[in-house]
Amino acid sequence: MSNYDVINSNAPRVDTPAKATGKAIFIDDMSMQDMLYGALLQSPIAHGKILNIDVSEAKKLKGVKTVVTAKEAGLIPYGVSPARYDENIFCHDRVRYIGDEIAAVAAVDLETAMEAASLIKVDYEELPALLTIEDAMADGASLLHEKYPQNICAQVNQEFGDFEAGLKQADIIKTTKFKSKRQDGAFLEPQGCIADFNKLTENLTLYSSTQVPHYVQRILSMVLKLPIGKVRVIKPYLGAGFGIKAGTNTMEIASCLLSMQTGKPVKMNYSREQVFMFGRARHQFTHTMTTGAKKDGTLTALKNECYLDGGAYTSFGIATVYYSGSLLGGPYKLPNMKYDGYRIYTNKPACGAQRGHGGVIARACWEQQLDMIAEELCIDPIELRLKNMMVAGDITCNDFNMSSLGMKECIEEIRDSSEWNEKKGKLPKGKGIGMACGFFVSGAGYPIYRSDTYHSTAVIKLTEDGGTALLYTASSEIGQGSDTTMGMIAAETLGIPLSDFRIESGDTDFGVDLGAYSSRQTLMTGHAVYDAAKQVKEQILEVLAKELSIPVEDMDIKKGIILFKKSQPDFSKLREIYIKEHRGWTDNPNADEPLTFKEASRIAFLAKGIISGNGKYKPHQLGGKFKGAAVGTSPAYGCSAQIVELTVDKETGQITIDNMTDAHDCGLAINKVSVEGQMEGSLSMGLGEAMFEEVKFDSKGRIINANLAEYKIPTALDMPPVKAIVVESSEPNGPFGAKEVGEGAIMPTIPAILNAVYDAIGIRIFELPLTPERVYQAIADYKKRKGV
Amino acid sequence: MKQIINLTINDKKYEVAVDANLTLLDLLRYQLGLTGAKKGCELGDCGACAVIMDGKPVNSCLVLAVSANGKDITTIEGLEDENGLHPLQQSFVEKGAIQCGFCTSGMILSGKTLLDKNPNPTDKEVRSAISGNLCRCTGYQKIIEAVQSVDSDI
Ligand code: FES
Ligand code: FES
């Protein structure tokens, strides 16, 4: 039984009745009076110089209100990380991928805007399209960005401990190479926005489908040269994002420019094809890893080399290239780790952050290798992992503090609930079982720009009658359930029911919150909310203490009632005041009822005015001092272990996933049903990446499957039954002991599938996705090698 | 050239003038203000725009408004009544079957057409009934639970 009244339960989410009835308003459900529609002109070629841009025909078209190019937009560079601001709003001298934005049009309707965009004439001098890492790094290849020789956008070389010395201690050494494919986030809601610039007040409001209103606000202010106080970003309900909506997109800026020019609201949307063209999802990774282990299974050293196909711009890429090294620091004890990562510019849409940022493919490569080591040493894969597992309090070689770590418990849970010991190595031919582990941050330890900013703030205000508490954060409900989580933390802390809270979020006017990325909101926004609620509670109890002459420590608030821990005081005078204030109201308390929160907060209002709490949070100083130490440091780490069972049809190469079991340590689960939902969703995304997802290009750099039929994501028929087991540790740095769940659960999925495939057919596959063709080919090659 | 069509949406009769190339989805969303049906792809791939037309779920982005002339249409807005949420909507809320909610209207309508014919569907039957409705958030687990746990007496 939980000791809590609100949290640590299965709570129906506050936003879902609106979503179940079609009443929830998403960006494309909005419209404004006199609204114009915007359209973009995007490059039809992957690489070229712009010789001339002629907008005269477009401007002449009836219904067109304005056309903007780099001339109007200016050339202030922006991006995600200030260390690599390599984007301009519009291309002026160069286009770098099919889809690169050149101009935008606002017109009275969408058809006119699109027609006008097509009337803009651009003369190009085509350059060779560099579509692979090899082409981009070749001698003499042209540079996408002059500043970066060999098209190396970012390079990381790190060594923790001494890799060579570690390798010398090893009895067995394994080297494998592993390759993944570019992903698409494939959230169901295409990006959209409405910009509304008021020419009289010079206030700009952008409604946008963003995960990060705060960062968008800053970028808009910078590139549009507006004081930040004049820029407000509001996020309506969001049809998910998974990281792709965690940066500013061109459309967001373009719509603002168009609105500033016309003084009218301007709406813009990506089509599904444009969602693919904008990209910013998971990179294609090629890892080469060498791991050393002693005979008893003890890991001694890891060398990890990785090439990331970055696309035309950096986006989140600097963080990505660090993460694909740093996220192997745990959850196993690993004294020596060397990492060399290279992110390469190519003439394709930029890649960015996607669920499990940077770590997913590194994990897939390594966890498969660990199984190979286990096999050679005749150790059960689970035993190998348990042998090397870190425990709470351990610090990785790259300075991540595992302040809580229920990894062992996760492994035991999945092992027992899927009968691993009975099944491993004992299943009929063609059937396999595999497992893997992983961990992830609970929020990035540092903001994307260097700053001492609070990472989250929260305001709680009580209404003057005391009946309702209002919670305002600038956090982002993107589908993960953060509004409910924050409401639950607030309600628990203050001691009133969740239903007495009204929850507002996703608006830069409500405060500062870095947004929904790096699985940060439960821990970070949660802390700020806790802080605000505590302040409110203290203020109420202080007033009561004075009125009733009882020390604050002798009182508490629980379930909307004031508790007196020692003797029951006579509060009839307070009640009388309250009822007098509310004469004729139908919900006044009866004489025999205990003193309610409502009465107490009204009394507090009479004494002090509006009662409000002003919560804030930023992490304590984290991580090491080395270059790149900021990427991967976090106040806490969630972790997962997974088992996958599957069947391989050896004749066709078709894999059927039969079932999946995941155990995740999320610290204390605030809302258990949401925790399970995050786990189940992570597994389905991992399954898609493992089994079929791949963005494909033709020889000119055009995406050939920019739709949800040919870029296949899992349907209900592809998903097996999933068992989600919530493991709870107590995280000292989390609010009520809570930490992440949104991304960690995707970490083990791909390697667990790879390891199960090996168990089923005895063949290792080192490239994704596991399409029937690839699996069939692997079986055929194996037979040829073995001469059978 | 606009054409006049007559159709019933959520038991209400409409007479509207529509362009020949207007989709039913755009008619609902932008002309009639029924934004519950979502636009995820406009190609018939995602099911976010699903509505029930003469008893069958259809992707409204693939249906021309003119061809909906004379049809009886139910959108997500038509499920709630004076007693509150439809039992399937209630079940989606209670089982945690909704995350971002963008697929939800289509999911619920596909689920409803299944339950109308088959009040006690198997796991497999639910999976096939919603296989044209993509959900990127939930992994479908809780959606299937929600459809299966609707009280068949209601
Ligand atoms: S919008 Fe109709 S199926 Fe996707
Ligand atoms: S809940 Fe987000 S797509 Fe289904």
Cα separation, B59 vs A584, in Å, equals 53
Are residues A713 and B134, on separate chains, in Cβ contact within 8 Å?
yes
Mean pLDDT estimate for chain B: 96
* Residues B106 and B69 occupy one common structural domain: no
Closest by Cα among A454, A707, A597, A413 to B45: A707
Cα B140 to ligand 2 centre (Å): 9
Average pLDDT over residues A451-476: 96
What is the residue range of B57's domain? Answer: 2-77
Tens digit of each residue's pLDDT (9 = 90 or more) over A82-93: 999 999 999 999
Task: Name the residue in chain A with its Cα closest to that of B86.
Answer: A21
Cα separation, B25 vs A747, in Å, equals 38
Taking CA atoms, A214 is separated from A217, A279, A509, A522, A642, in Å, by 5, 21, 10, 17, 35
Cα separation, A43 vs A185, in Å, equals 22
Output the residue whose Cα is nearest ligand 2's atom 2. Answer: B100
**Partners of residue A185 in chain B, C-beta under 8 Å:** 136
**Partners of residue A190 in chain B, C-beta under 8 Å:** 39-40
- What is the tally of structural domains in chain B? 2
Are residues A719 and B108, on separate chains, in Cβ contact within 8 Å?
no
The alpha-carbon gap from A570 to the nearest alpha carbon of chain B, in Å, equals: 42
Q: In this structure, are strands A284-293 and A299-311 parallel, antiparallel, or unpaired?
A: antiparallel
Taking CA atoms, A330 is separated from A171, A191, A326, A501, A679, in Å, by 22, 35, 9, 39, 20
- Cite the DSSP H helix spans in A96-203: 110-119, 133-137, 163-168
In a domain, B51, yes or no: yes
In a domain, B153, yes or no: no
Tell me the CATH number at B134: 1.10.150.120
* Residues B41 and B18 occupy one common structural domain: yes
Give the model's pLDDT for residue A1. Answer: 56
* A614: DSSP letter: E
**Partners of residue B45 in chain A, C-beta under 8 Å:** 272, 707-709
Average pLDDT over residues A547-572: 96
* Residues B72 and B23 occupy one common structural domain: yes
Buried b (16+ CB within 10 A) or exposed e, A511-523: bbbbbbbbbbbbb
* Residues B69 and B7 occupy one common structural domain: yes
In a domain, B82, yes or no: no
Tens digit of each residue's pLDDT (9 = 90 or more) over A211-236: 999 999 999 999 999 999 999 999 99
Cα separation, A350 vs A274, in Å, equals 13
Cα separation, B108 vs B129, in Å, equals 11
Average pLDDT over residues A461-470: 92
Helices (H) and strands (E) in chain B, counts: 5, 5
Tens digit of each residue's pLDDT (9 = 90 or more) over A152-197: 999 999 999 999 999 999 999 999 999 999 999 999 999 999 999 9
Coil/strand/helix, residue A758: helix
Partner A contacted by B34 (CB < 8 A)? yes
Which of A29, A190, A478 faces B100 most closely, judged by CB atoms?
A478
Domains, in order of start, for chain A: 16-22+454-617 (3.30.365.10), 31-127+189-239+245-278 (3.90.1170.50), 363-443+633-786 (3.30.365.10)
Give the model's pLDDT for residue A630. Answer: 86
Q: Which of B77, B112, B134 is the last residue of a domain?
A: B77
Q: Please say if the pLDDT value at position A406 is more than 60.
A: yes
Are residues A16 and B134, on separate chains, in Cβ contact within 8 Å?
no
* Residues B40 and B10 occupy one common structural domain: yes
Cβ-based neighbours of A753, under 8 Å, separated by 6 or more: A434, A644, A646, A655, A657, A686, A687, A690, A691, A770
Cα separation, A95 vs A79, in Å, equals 16
Partner A contacted by B54 (CB < 8 A)? no
* Residues B6 and B64 occupy one common structural domain: yes
Q: How confident is the model at residue A623 (pLDDT cuts 50, 70, 90)?
A: confident
Tell me the CATH number at B65: 3.10.20.30
Are residues A674 and B37, on separate chains, in Cβ contact within 8 Å?
no
Are residues A22 and B133, on separate chains, in Cβ contact within 8 Å?
no
* Residues B30 and B96 occupy one common structural domain: no
Tens digit of each residue's pLDDT (9 = 90 or more) over B68-101: 999 999 999 999 999 999 999 999 999 999 999 9
A684: left (phi over 0), alpha (psi -120 to 50) or beta: alpha
Q: How confident is the model at residue A629 (pLDDT cuts 50, 70, 90)?
A: confident
Burial class (CB in 10 A: 0-12, 13-18, 19+), A72: middle
* Residues B93 and B72 occupy one common structural domain: no
Which of B41, B95, B100 faces A238 most closely, judged by CB atoms?
B100
Ligand 1 closest atom vs CA B60: 2
Average pLDDT over residues A5-20: 98
Which of B39, B46, B76 faces A22 most closely, judged by CB atoms?
B76
Residue holding tokens 């909507």?
Answer: B89
ipTM score of the complex?
A: 0.98
- When scoring A13, A14, A21 by the number of chain B Cβ atoms within 10 A, the one with the most, hence best to mutate, is A21
Give the model's pLDDT for residue A591. Answer: 86
* Residues B12 and B72 occupy one common structural domain: yes
Q: Which amino acid is at A303?
A: K
Task: Describe the strand order of the beta sheet including A48-54 as a list of residue ranges.
Answer: A94-95, A48-54, A121-126
Which of B34, B134, B141 faces A722 most closely, judged by CB atoms?
B141
Q: Which of B77, B103, B136 is the last residue of a domain?
A: B77
In a domain, B102, yes or no: yes
Cα separation, A478 vs A242, in Å, equals 9
* Residues B11 and B66 occupy one common structural domain: yes
Buried b (16+ CB within 10 A) or exposed e, A306-318: bbbbbbbbbbbbb
The alpha-carbon gap from B47 to the nearest alpha carbon of chain A, in Å, equals: 10
Coil/strand/helix, residue A711: coil
Q: How confident is the model at residue B151 (pLDDT cuts 50, 70, 90)?
A: confident
Q: In this structure, are strands A469-473 and A501-504 parallel, antiparallel, or unpaired?
A: parallel
Are residues A186 and B136, on separate chains, in Cβ contact within 8 Å?
yes
> Is the bond into A497 cis (omega within 30 degrees of 0)?
no
SS3 letters for A285-320?
EEEEEEEEECCCCCEEEEEEEEEEEEECCCCCHHHH
In a domain, B99, yes or no: yes
Average pLDDT over residues A354-375: 98
Residue holding tokens 């494939």?
Answer: A186
Average pLDDT over residues A200-219: 98
Give the model's pLDDT for residue B152. Answer: 60
Q: How confident is the model at residue A587 (pLDDT cuts 50, 70, 90)?
A: confident
Q: Please say if the pLDDT value at position A480 is more than 70.
A: yes
Give the model's pLDDT for residue A2. Answer: 76
* Residues B65 and B125 occupy one common structural domain: no
**Partners of residue A13 in chain B, C-beta under 8 Å:** 93, 96, 98
* Residues B23 and B70 occupy one common structural domain: yes
Tens digit of each residue's pLDDT (9 = 90 or more) over A496-513: 999 999 999 999 999 999
Output the residue whose Cα is nearest ligand 2's atom 4. Answer: B135
Are residues A681 and B93, on separate chains, in Cβ contact within 8 Å?
no
Are residues A684 and B103, on separate chains, in Cβ contact within 8 Å?
no
Average pLDDT over residues A732-749: 98
Please calculate the CA angle A342-A347-A348 and round it to the nearest 5 degrees.
90
Ligand 2 closest atom vs CA B137: 2
- When scoring A188, A675, A717 by the number of chain B Cβ atoms within 10 A, the one with the most, hence best to mutate, is A188
**Phi, psi angles (nearest 5°) of residue A730:** -115, 115
In a domain, B92, yes or no: yes
In a domain, B154, yes or no: no
Cα separation, A486 vs A490, in Å, equals 6
Q: Which of B26, B57, B77 is the last residue of a domain?
A: B77
The closest ligand to the CA of B24 turns out to be 1
Kindly report the number of other CB atoms within 10 A of residue A561's CB atom: 17
User: Residues A724, A664: contact at Cβ < 8 Å?
Assistant: yes
Give the model's pLDDT for residue A788. Answer: 75
